[in-house]
Amino acid sequence: MVMKKRLDNGFNGLSDWTVPRCPRSFRKRVHSKKDFEDGQICAIELLASLAGKLLQDGESTACSNTSDGDHSVIGTNVVKEDKSNQEKGFKEKCCDGGSSQSCDLAIETTDQKQNLKKLQYVDNITVFDCTSVVVNSNSSDEACGDVKPVVCKTEFGDYCTKPEEGSPDSLESTDTGMKIINEEQHGFPNMADSHGSKDLKKSPTMANSSFKTGFRSLFSRYRNYFKLASRDEDEKFRSNKSSFHSNSFRPPSRIAGRRIRKLLNSKHWKAAPKLKDCEVPRSGSIDDETRNPFRKRKLYFNSERRFHGDGLYKRRRFFDRSSVVNSDEGMSSESVSNSPEKSIHIDKSGLAAVLHGASVTTSSAQQASFHSKDSHVKFSIRSFKVPELFIDVPENATVGSLKKIVLEAVTAILKGGLHVGVLVHGKKVRDDNRTLLQTGLSCKDNLDTVGFTLEPNLVHNTTSPLCSEDHPQMLACDITELVPSSPVNPVSSSGILDVVALPNTTLTNSKIQDENKHELITTSIDNLPDNSLQDCKALVPVPEMTMEALAVVPLNPKSKRSEVVQRRTRRPFSVSEVEALVQAVEELGTGRWRDVKFRAFENADHRTYVDLKDKWKTLVHTARISPQQRRGEPVPQELLDRVLAAHAYWSQHQAKQHSKHHQAGVVKAIEGSSC
């Protein structure tokens, strides 16, 4: 139930994804000794069936069927999950990103025939303990663009994956899988001609909404991407809205954000509320106009414009969520998909290269597991978040200039260099000299409380056009899992994979290499050849798990704490914000915080209507107490007076309304009873 819900949210509520799944009994399989034995058999059978399969079908591939595939299990220890939905989600987002014109997103495609041989490759492997391994593997099917992950569990480091039944392009082979990765890094399935684009047409709004997240998710989805989030799309979308009078209108991105937040916070799911489209617009009513003495001016708080003027400006924003949060996000749709390397082009300018090169920062992993025998704490970083780019340009700016700005912004970030921060329980560990043990990072601990952050080296950015917002925040990453103390570099050793070897393509990578060795390591780990699995210690796989997979295989059942959400960073209201708030409340009254939010804090994503309401509450309180008792940034008395005035007015107003309502209700009741 929860799982389902999450998925739906993660994919913008797409409900038409009929994702076939194997019975829960399969997914929940517990590994036993028998599993181990079966695991042995499995490999052989796989090869056998595979060979037959290769002979059998040449190329006919009904993609829909293949992905649905029956679940005739070869090994009894097979758990399968279908990620096609995610892939689809990505496509939508991606395509939308292209169509929305803030950048030209073109997805390269390789020779598809090359992909025909598409094999399942073992993408990620997680060791939960010395006796169990979870393999999360995918097979790619370019025909439909689906990614078909298979999660298997076996014991003793043995593993097997289940080839897609009926899928000609399934093959059980790990090292071939590596090759595939290699091949596909030069391009990926043409998304335009897949069904993802159809969905786009169906739901433009949704598509639009998913632009940001989609773009953002590129990075984590395709681990060699640079994740770049651009806000301008939905900002624009919102600002195009000419009035606030539609109560039913909800900026999609915000909703998505809320959803995520909700996901993080909710312990239970409620039925979705109905849209109240028929609701009478509240803010525009004549009643308001005539009665509200405050309604005159419109003060729109825009944190950006207010401080930077209307000219071109860019600034960076960073994700302020700690990894603790991200451990949740990790289960979300965004960073889950394991897909072969792909490339993105944003124009032909340098950005593409930057994006590509920066891919190193990504990696994926899920939850931690560890060997209690050795005292090494093993980490694996699921993915780093890259600073979000916040771009605001005049409408009459050219697309070219926009591109340039984006490029500059990205370049500036990358040039600035990065630092790594470590978070434990959402708190930054500043003392570099502390041991992990002292920090609370023992192998016995839940490592999901650990987070790494990428912190831009702002010092070097002085020449950049970027201004940093607030405090330099971190780009949280999802940490997840274990990395052996002396990890092998499968990339170099195997020689198969050069995806991760892209590092030197840009300055970024070398930087990152220097500063984030861990990340590099874990990144490469993703592609461990299976033989490395034999060495439990050397195993540093990074499983990208879907939420479902996660549900299937509770990686760390003990860690309920992983759901602990870090408290939001405190962000005191500035005077200008207060002013905007007061202004809005004067006009709209208390009790309409959503409208207030849209009116005055449209672009201040970090201010929720609840925040505004709370702030108003404290403002009223502040206004009532003596100036000596007030703390924090002093609010001009004039504003406080207005607060009191407005509060008094609206309280009265509300009371009136209330009594009216009451009367009306009474009348109605009387009428009803008299009939």
Partner DNA sequence: TTTAGGG
Partner DNA sequence: CCCTAAA
Q: Which residues would be at the binding site for DNA (CB under 7 A)?
A: 250, 255, 258-259, 262, 265, 267, 270, 272-273, 565, 567-571, 590-595, 606, 609-611, 613-614, 617-618
Q: Which is nearer to DNA, 135 or 578 (CB)?
A: 578
**Residue (610 or 666) nearer to DNA, CB:** 610
DSSP state of 459: G
- Rounded CA separation 167/480 (Å): 32
User: Which is closer to DNA, CB of 262 or CB of 291?
Assistant: 262
* Best CA proximity match to 475, nearest among 420, 553, 394, 397: 420
Least separation in angstroms between CB 544 and DNA:
26
Which DSSP string do the residues of 381-419 spell out, in sequence order?
A: EEEEPPPEEEEE--TTS-HHHHHHHHHHHHHHHHHH-EE
Residue 329 identity: E
Question: What's the closest the beta carbon of residue 134 comes to DNA, in angstroms?
Answer: 30
From the CB of 520, what's the least distance to DNA, in Å? 33
**DSSP conformation letters of 267-298:** SS-PPPPPP-TTSPPSTT-HHHHHH-TTBTB-
Q: Shortest gap between Cβ of 115 and DNA (angstroms)? A: 37
Please state the closest distance from residue 322 (CB atom) to DNA, in A.
11
CB of 568 to DNA, least distance (A): 3
CB neighbourhood size of 278 (10 A): 7
Q: How far is the CB of 582 from DNA (least distance, A)?
A: 16
Q: How far is the CB of 419 from DNA (least distance, A)?
A: 24
Q: How far is the CB of 609 from DNA (least distance, A)?
A: 4
Nearer to DNA, 134 or 604 (CB): 604
Q: Going edge to edge, which strands form the sheet with 388-392?
A: 229-230, 388-392, 313-317, 466-468
Token duo for residue 580: 């905007």
Phi, psi of 600 (to 5 degrees): -110, -15
Burial of 571 (0-12, 13-18, 19+ CB in 10 A): middle
Nearer to DNA, 207 or 491 (CB): 207
Residue closer to DNA, measured from CB, 35 or 235: 235
Position 64, amino acid: S
DSSP 521-557: HHHHHTT--GGGGGSTTT--------HHHHHHS-S-T
- Contacts of residue 2, defined as CB under 8 A and 6 or more positions apart, other chains included, come to 269, 551
Amino acid at 441: L
Beta strands in 412-539 (DSSP E): 418-424, 427-429, 450-456, 466-468, 475-479
We find the least distance from the C-beta atom of residue 590 to DNA, in angstroms, to be: 6
- The span from the CA of 538 to the CA of 431, in Å, is 28
